[in-house]
Structures are given as structure tokens and as C-alpha cells.
Amino acid sequence: MNLTDRVAVITGGAGGIGSALARRFVAEGAAAVVLADRDAAAVTAVADGIGPVVRGVAVDVTDEGQVRELVADTERRYGRIDLFCANAGVATGAGVEADDLDWDRSWRVNVLSHVYAARAVLPAMLARGEGYLLNTCSAAGVLTAVGDAPYTATKHAAVGLAEWLAITYRDRGVRVSALCPQGVDTPMLADGLTAGHLGARVIAASGAVLTPDQVADAVIAGLAEERFLILPHPEVAGYALRRAEDPDGWQAGLRKLVRRLRAGAGQSTPPPPPPAASP
């Protein structure tokens, strides 16, 4: 798919990756881009800043009624949705001790919202025999997110759901991609680094931290090829292969990295490069 004359919806649209996707879709000639975020003021400001092709709307993606209305309103205004980007996401920086509210919020935002989006857009896409779902998952969904148990579990579930959707609907014209970046310079990562979360420090030590615009470049290329797995950090494919071939060795490499980071905390010299990456 290319974006020329396309109608796209992007959730988490006030955030780093969502707003970069919107800017890039407009530059590629999209007919309309609807940005949805629970932060009404921020999403309106982002949309207004990009231009008249973009519309910002307040939507909580964990509320199925609001997702249905987002889809129905977009279809009423523009006639169809060519591409739905389920991009809103949350991290916790916590382990299994995260309270049930954080586990529940992670499940609802990172997974259930993708279910709600699919339920809402599939009927019209299947009727037209055409459509595209881009689900922002994470490298955490094919590897692990050290220091964030709810994020790891729910991003794995998000990749599993995207794969299920791809297998189930591809032959009926609906294409699906799972966007799986490692570190990206957005408020999500910056907040984790500021809070000193181990997971954010592992990400920063595990490879390049990309700009949201670089992620948008990878998305445009991935959509053009209609590739299932979109990996803005191509090395993630190698890590996933290593994890599959030698899970114990891969885990040992990550544990070593964590030990080095912990030992290096408070020292001025950075830790040596990691033997294996983690998102």
C-alpha cells in the first residue's frame, strides 16, 4: 500500500510515533488522516500543527464504544478507512509486582484496543475486499522488555493477535503489519530514562535509539512491501532468530547485560555493548 489518496486513522496520535506517522502520511499524499488520542488538547494541537488534512479527536481506545464511533464517524466523513494504525500504547517500568490496575491498563491499551479496532473496521474492509491494519507492537513482542513484565506479556499478545489477523484475513484482501521497533526517542522512553527504569536503560544500551521520523520511514517501506513484520531496527530479526535457536544462551546474554548495567550504575563509564538486544 502507498499512502496517496488514502484515508488513515492513527491512535496514540498525540505521541511521538503516532504524530510522526501522521506527518509522513500527509507528505505521501494521504487524503485524510484522523489522529485519535485520549489527550484531547495534545492531539488537537498536533493535528492543527500538521495541517487541514489532519483531524484530531479525543478517543480512549480502551472504550469499545468510542473506537466504534471513531470508525463510524471517519467512514461517514471520508467514505472509508484504508489504513487503521492501532498505535496507542503504555509501559509500566514494573515487574510482576505491578498492581492489577497497571496489568489491566496494559492489557486494555496494548491488546484489547487492537481487538476493538479490528472488530470495528473489518466489516467495511471485508465488504470492499481491501484494507490495512498496522498494529504497533514492539520488539518487546518478539523478544522481551527487561524490567517491564506487563509490557512484555501484552506486546507478545499483540504480535500474536496481529499474526492471527494476518493469517485469517489476508486472503480476503485485508493486510496486516506488526510494527516492532526497539528504542525510539519519544516521551515513553524519555519518561522511563528520567525515572531510572532498568528497562529504559537496557533499551538505551541495546542499540540505536531511532527518531520517530526514522520509524515512519520504516513504516512507509514496510507498507509498500506489505510486509508482516516491520522492524525499524533490522538487527531485531537476528536477535529473534538467536532467541528461537538458543533460548538459554539468549537469556544468559541478557542477564549479563543487566548485571553490567547494574554494576555500572553511578559510574561515569558506559557499559560495554550488549551481546544481545532487548527492547
Ligand X SMILES: NC(=O)c1ccc[n+]([C@@H]2O[C@H](COP(=O)([O-])OP(=O)(O)OC[C@H]3O[C@@H](n4cnc5c(N)ncnc54)[C@H](O)[C@@H]3O)[C@@H](O)[C@H]2O)c1
Active site residues per annotation: 151
The CB-of-58 to ligand X minimum distance in angstroms stands at 8
All cell numbers assigned to 179: 510494527
Q: Could you say whether residue 253 binds ligand X (CB under 6 A)? A: no
Select the residue interacting with ligand X from 8, 10, 16, 133 (CB under 6 A): 16
The rounded distance, in Å, linking the Cα atoms of 1 and 224 is 5
SS3 content of the chain, % helix, strand, coil (to 5): 55, 15, 30
The one-letter amino acid code at 150 reads P
Instruction: Compare residues 189 and 277 and give the one whose CB is closer to ligand X.
Output: 189
Q: Could you say whether residue 109 binds ligand X (CB under 6 A)? A: yes
Q: Could you say whether residue 106 binds ligand X (CB under 6 A)? A: no
Instruction: Compare residues 30 and 188 and give the one whose CB is closer to ligand X.
Output: 188
The one-letter amino acid code at 128 reads R
The rounded distance, in Å, linking the Cα atoms of 46 and 36 is 10
Please enumerate in sequence order all residues whose Cβ is within 8 A of that of 125, keeping only pairs 6 or more positions apart, or say none.
81, 131, 173, 174
Select the residue interacting with ligand X from 3, 8, 9, 17 (CB under 6 A): 17
Residues 22-61 binding ligand X (CB under 6 A) are 37-39, 59-61
202 to each of 41, 57, 187, 276, how far by Cα in Å? 32, 34, 16, 11
Applying CB under 6 A, the site for ligand X has a residue count of 29
Instruction: Compare residues 30 and 231 and give the one whose CB is closer to ligand X.
Output: 231
The rounded distance, in Å, linking the Cα atoms of 73 and 135 is 21
Q: Could you say whether residue 232 binds ligand X (CB under 6 A)? A: no
All cell numbers assigned to 3: 499512502
CB 32 within 8 A of CB 55: yes
Q: Could you say whether residue 92 binds ligand X (CB under 6 A)? A: no
The CB-of-11 to ligand X minimum distance in angstroms stands at 6
CB 57 within 8 A of CB 46: no
The CB-of-72 to ligand X minimum distance in angstroms stands at 17
- Applying CB under 6 A, the span of 49-57, 81-89, 123-131, 238-246 interacting with ligand X comes to 81-89
The CB-of-172 to ligand X minimum distance in angstroms stands at 26
Which residues in this chain contact ligand X in the complex, by CB under 6 A?
Answer: 11-12, 14-18, 37-39, 59-62, 87-90, 109, 136, 138, 181, 183-184, 186-189, 279
